[in-house]
Amino acid sequence: MNPRSLLAVLLFVGLANQAAAQIHPEEGRPQVLWQDARPLIGKMALVAGNVINVNTAGSVTFVNFDDQRPARFTAVLFERDLTNFPIPPKEMYAGKIVQVSGTISVFKDQPQIVVTTPAQIKVLDKLPTASMPVKAPVVPRTNPGELVIAAYNILNLFDDHDDPYRSDEITPAKPRAEMERLAESIRQLNADVIAVEEVESRDYLQRFVDVFLADMGYRHVVLFEGNDNRGIDVGLISRIPVGPVESNRHVTFPGLDGTPRRFNRDVLEVTLLPEGAPPIEVWVVHLKSNAGGREEAEPIRIPEAQQVRRMLDEEFTANPDARIIVTGDFNDLWNSETMKTIVGPSEGAMWSAGSESTDPALVTYNKEPHRTVIDFMLCSPAMARQFVKESYRNPQGSVESTGSDHNPISATFRVK
């Protein structure tokens, strides 16, 4: 191959890789000077400054940026991690301009970043310009007395890092182009609360929000690692303040044969706290699919449905007026045993916000040849009374247009 052809191939590969690139590690992160680190405590950030000295006390090495004691900001290295550094940190960083990346924590009321690898400290030629991501305003709603709640299976929101405790290597990282299309579909949805399924981790869900939805006001991101071996979890993003959150990943219940089981993923219970109104509980579900046939799926899915119904009955016994929405990807049809079990008998029965929809062309799973409705929004009797008529939405799309093989659903509810 001649040099020009080789150059063209390399250029093509580079552009292809760039097009398929994931979220850059520094993208969407605050970049500040060390004097301004305090307001970012608890957040991932890039902190820069001149290192005046590097000292070791006992088993801890301190990269210091000022003479004050206690230091107003420090990069901290523990002895157990020093083997990761090919050159002593004092030789690497003393007297140099550096940028430290990581989560800003607190020690003795002063901000710090714990450093475990050299990759977290970059030596620079000059101090960078400070920058902050777009501050996320709460997007004003047409009617502040109403709340739009949505559910969306967002199709394998995975990063490109291998989790040694999960079989996530079989699921490729979500292409950036898909994430961009997904973000645009979420913007069009413009819901106040979105229950999401098929997310790898809370950190990556937060990164997705920070990078692609920073101006949408989703200040609250909720996700617990569930039981799925592939690593797909359920979560929730919200503009509305979030109160108590409960995971049911460790709950045991009888299977069809009486053997104790746990949820294949989780049922995530999130309490929303709308201002001046009673709380609303959103339960996020993602039940077992029919991949492999019903014979394989129903011994998993039906016991889970039975347990969800037991949990609802317990709630209604304690409070018949509990405001609960159970929503997500149920992976079964409306007239199935799964859905009949969760909906329950007439007293305490859950009502589907999607019962308004009569157009057979509207589906929630959008891939041929299985286009169908398997995502639902089930409302407790008290919550059904808050439903705003004709507010149910099910915008249609595809992986190519929205970045997901599911279409979102949403409905509007009065909060008082």
What are the tens digits of pLDDT across the range 367-398?
999 999 999 999 999 999 999 999 999 999 99
Decide if pLDDT at 186 tops 60.
yes
User: How many other CB atoms are there within 10 angstroms of residue 306's CB atom?
Assistant: 18
Mean predicted confidence (pLDDT) in 197-216: 94
In percent, how much of the chain has pLDDT > 90?
A: 78
User: What pLDDT score does 17 carry?
Assistant: 43
pTM listed for this prediction? 0.83
Decide if pLDDT at 342 tops 60.
yes
Which phi-psi region, left, alpha or beta, contains residue 17 (left: φ > 0; alpha: ψ -120 to 50)? alpha
User: What pLDDT score does 170 carry?
Assistant: 58
Domain ranges of the chain: 31-124, 146-414
Average pLDDT along the chain:
90
In percent, how much of the chain has pLDDT > 70?
A: 90
Superfamily in which the 146-414 domain is placed by CATH: Endonuclease/exonuclease/phosphatase (3.60.10.10)
User: What pLDDT score does 403 carry?
Assistant: 97
Please tell me the CATH code under which domain 31-124 is placed: 2.40.50.140
User: What pLDDT score does 21 carry?
Assistant: 57
- 167 or 107: which leads in pLDDT: 107
What amino acid is encoded at 377 in this protein?
A: M
31-124 and 146-414 agree in CATH topology: no
Decide if pLDDT at 138 tops 60.
no
What amino acid is encoded at 186 in this protein?
A: I
**Band of the pLDDT at 19, cuts 50, 70, 90?**
very low
Weakest-pLDDT range from 15-29, 63-77, 401-415? 15-29
